[in-house]
Structure 1
Amino acid sequence: MPLVEITVPEGTLSEAAVEVLQQQVADAVLTAMELPRTEFFAAATWVYVREAAKGLATTGAGRPPGVLVEVTPLEGFLTPERNEALSVEVTRHVREATGPDTLVWLVVNEIPEGNWAVNGGLTRRAKIGELVAEAARES
Structure 2
Amino acid sequence: MGSTMPLVELTVPEGTLSEAAAGVLQQQVADSVLTAMELPRTDFFAAATWVYVREAAKGLATTGAGTPPGVLVVVTPLEGFLTPERNEALSVEVTRHVQGAVGPDTVVWLVVHEVPEGNWAVNGGLTRRAKIDEFVAEAARAR
Normalising by the residue count of structure 2, what TM-score does the alignment of the two structures yield?
A: 0.96
| Counterpart amino acid of residue 126 in structure 1 | A
Superposition map of 1:1-139 within 5 A: 1-139=5-143
- RMSD after superposition: 0.4
- 1:48-85 CA-partner distances (Å, limit 9, x unpaired): 00000001000000011000000000000000000000
Q: Which has the higher contact order (CA 8 A, sep 6+)?
A: 2
Distance 1:66 1:99 in 2: 10
Which contiguous aligned blocks of 4+ residues in structure 1 show a shift greater than 2 angstroms? none
Aligned length: 139
- Structure 2 unaligned runs (5+)? none
| Counterpart amino acid of residue 33 in structure 1 | M
Report SS of the residue matched to 1:128: helix
- Structure 1 unaligned runs (5+)? none
User: How much does 1:119 deviate?
Assistant: 1.4
Report SS of the residue matched to 1:18: helix
Report SS of the residue matched to 1:36: coil
Normalising by the residue count of structure 1, what TM-score does the alignment of the two structures yield?
A: 0.99
Percent of pairs identical after alignment?
88
